[in-house]
């Protein structure tokens, strides 16, 4: 691995970590800034396009998580795989677990297309899939997983 690929991988890792940090701390403006203006964000049940609709999703979901007392919570990221596609584009895969005040609540995967912009690496597309949850998890209702 040469220096430029190493720098690419470290910078993309920082993008993924920044997403978790901003989401977990409710810093939605900074979180949305990690996406390109025309980015796509998909969940199990929604397909959002553009920063404004993505920001609305995070605000709505954050308020719903707070209302059912899941927060504070933390996303834990693992099994991160970065596949470069040239010097300005890459695909990523990562597993996550969400641990709230009651412990482990739900888990899943992220699949991304990231691009290098003048502002650094940004998400052009992110698919966040909840693959499982503990019995009676409020995310079933909140995220429309039933």
One digit per residue, the tens of pLDDT, for the chain of length 146 reads 688 888 999 999 999 999 999 999 999 999 999 999 999 999 999 999 999 999 999 999 999 888 988 889 999 999 999 999 988 999 999 999 999 999 999 999 999 999 999 999 999 999 999 999 999 898 888 888 87
Domain ranges of the chain: 3-142
76 by DSSP, 3-state: which?
A: strand
pLDDT value of residue 12: 97
Contact 93, 126 (CB under 8 A): no
Q: Does domain 3-142 have CATH number 3.40.50.300?
A: no
pLDDT value of residue 143: 82
User: Structure pTM?
Assistant: 0.92
């Amino acid at each position: 691995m040469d220096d430029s690929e190493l720098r690419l991988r470290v910078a993309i890792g920082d993008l993924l970590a920044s997403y978790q940090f901003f989401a977990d701390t409710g810093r939605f403006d900074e979180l949305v800034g990690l996406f390109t203006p025309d980015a796509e964000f998909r969940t199990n049940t929604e397909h959002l396009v553009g920063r404004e609709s993505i920001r609305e999703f995070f605000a709505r979901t954050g308020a719903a998580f707070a209302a059912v007392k899941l927060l504070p919570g933390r996303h834990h990221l693992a099994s991160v795989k970065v596949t470069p596609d040239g010097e300005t584009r890459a695909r990523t895969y990562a597993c996550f677990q969400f641990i709230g005040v009651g412990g482990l609540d739900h888990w899943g995967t992220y699949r991304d297309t990231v691009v290098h912009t003048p502002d650094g690496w940004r998400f052009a597309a992110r698919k966040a899939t909840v693959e499982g949850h503990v019995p009676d998890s409020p995310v079933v209702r909140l995220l429309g997983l039933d």
